[in-house]
Amino acid sequence: MPADSPEMPCQLCGRSFPRAGLTRHHCLPKSKGGTEDHVELICGQCHTMVHATFTNATLATVYPTVAELRKAPELIAFIRWVRKQPATRRTRNEPRRRKV
């Protein structure tokens, strides 16, 4: 990707990334009827944490938008932490004992 490519914010944490550094998150999972209209761009770190924390059923019923995910009690501390990290830092998210 060219060095002058525009950066875009992660829709969950707000950090800036080149477009290639963002992943497509289906807010309404495809298995629950989600379409291309239900896609937001979020960074890999946030995307991994969302799916490590929630089942697709929970995402579809309780957190069907990124705005609602930002308010999820299970993610508040993570989002606060990851916002302080440089976009180049990539740490492995620990698997949750039990998904919500």
Q: Residue 50 has which token pair? A: 């969302």
N- to C-terminal Cα separation, the chain: 37
Q: Residue 92 has what pLDDT?
A: 66
Q: Residue 98 has what pLDDT?
A: 66
Q: Which of 32, 23, 75 is nearest to 54 (CA)?
A: 75
Q: Could you give the 3-state DSSP secondary structure of residue 55?
A: coil
Q: Residue 40 has what pLDDT?
A: 93
The low-confidence residues of the chain, meaning pLDDT below 50, are 1
Q: Residue 76 has what pLDDT?
A: 96
> Which residue segments constitute the domains of the chain, with CATH numbers given?
7-82 (1.10.30)
Q: How far apart are CA 51 and CA 95, in angstroms?
A: 9
Q: Are strands 22-26 and 39-43 parallel, antiparallel or unpaired?
A: antiparallel
